[in-house]
Structures are given as structure tokens and as C-alpha cells.
Chains A and B, each alone.
Chain A
Amino acid sequence: MSARFAVGETVKVRAAFPPGHLRTPFFIRGKTGRVTAVLGPYRNPEELAYGRSGEPALPLYRVLFATAELWDDFRGAPQDSTVVDVYENWLERA
């Protein structure tokens, strides 16, 4: 399985809001971040959650976001970051 994105690349999380089980938290949808690690292929939890195989496995990425861009009322340090593991089906090239 070849990963579509590389470490250092800027990616945008899809602003999608489907029902069902998914592992992409609400607070990063539509937001832009940077890939800091390619964690490897993992079976798709959106399928595993309903008793299916989760194949083909999807690349999972560690993505770093500027915390201040995630929440309007964030009052922490401006350089603070938030790291979320995101499956490839949720990422687009920014």
C-alpha cells in the first residue's frame, strides 16, 4: 500500500459530516495541518465498526495542527499544536 502523502506535506481534512462510526474528530474537519509521520496501513475502522473486514487497509497519518486555528476561544500559547491520527480517506492535498 503506497501512501499518498509524505512527511512534511500540508493536508486538508475533508469537511464531511456523515453519520456512522468514524475516527476523524469534529474539531479538525475542514482544517489544514501538516503530516509529521506516516504510521502505516490499518484496516478501516469505519468498516470494522459494522462487522466488515476493513480491507483494504488505509494509510494512517499523524497530522499536526496549530491549536489556535482549531478553536476560536483558544487562549493558550500561539505556538501550541494539536496532533491527531487521520486516515487517508479523510485527507486532501491542501
Chain B
Amino acid sequence: MSKERADDKTVLRRHHDMGGLPAGPVDPYGAGAEHDYAPWEKRVDAILRLLADSKRRLITTDELRRGIEELGPGAYDEMSYYERWIASVTNNLIEKGVITVDELGRRMAEVAAAWPAGAETLEGSHSGERKR
């Protein structure tokens, strides 16, 4: 396959598979390059590790990645790292029947009603930390 044909096959390249494509300069010191993780991000990390541990084996790294890839180009570009993680974890757990769409929707409505100011207030109140 020639390089030209490879370029023509962009329709066959999945969005996340972007190695070598133009993406502008990398600023290792720019905004978002290094940050303290918000409490909710640490919680997402913990949720994944507990779901994947040898006792539960409810999700693999490969399933997590597959779920992230299936979020689609818009979500992939606009969501943050841990937003992509929790979206993929959620979809995997629905697929496996661990949670149902119905119970998730009801629980989300409960949380939204109890914490109208939003997720940051919820996280800050639970952990005693505030997002910086």
C-alpha cells in the first residue's frame, strides 16, 4: 500500500487512531498539562480498578478502551480523560447487565435533585475537598 493510498483510507481510520496526524505544537507546561486530580476523577479511577480486580473481573482494560473508542469523534474530542473513562465504564456495565438504564436514569435524577448546584458541590461535600 502506498502512502497516498493510506491517506485515502482515512474513512477507514477510526477517530482515536490519530498517531502522526497534525495536532499543533505540544506545550508541556500549558493549561491542563499537569494538574491535581479532582476528587471525582480519583473516584472514577478507583471505580475502574475495583470493577477490574481479580474478585470482580467486570471489565478489562481492553473493554474500557473499546468503549472510549465507541463514544464517537465529538465525545472523544470534547470530553476530558476521566469523563471518557466513566462514560465507557457506564456503557460496559449496562451492556453486561450490572446496572440498567432505568435505574441509572432514576439515580441520576435523585442526585440532581439533591445537589442542584452540580457535581462539584457533590464531590466537595463528600470529600471535604474543593476543586481548585
Number of A-B contacts (CB under 8 A): 48
**Which residues does chain A contribute within 8 Å of B33, judged by CB atoms?**
none
CB distance from A84 to the nearest CB of B (A): 9
Are B6 and A49 neighbours in the complex by a CB distance under 8 Å? no
Are A48 and B60 neighbours in the complex by a CB distance under 8 Å? yes
Per DSSP, chain B at the interface is helix
Bound-state CA distance A17–B69 (Å) is 15
Bound-state CA distance A21–B68 (Å) is 10
Q: How many residues of B contact A (CB 8 A)?
A: 20
**Which residues does chain A contribute within 8 Å of B19, judged by CB atoms?**
25-27
Per DSSP, chain A at the interface is loop
Given that A21-B69, A29-B1, A70-B20 are known contacts, is A48 also in contact with B63, CB under 8 Å in the complex?
A: yes
The contact of B1 among A15, A20, A48, A49, by CB within 8 Å, is A15
Q: Give the nearest-CB partner of B12 in chain A.
A: A17
Binding site for B on A (CB under 8 A): 15, 17, 19-21, 25-27, 29-30, 45, 48-51, 54, 70-72
Binding site for A on B (CB under 8 A): 1, 3, 6-7, 9, 12-14, 17, 19-20, 60-63, 65-66, 69, 95-96
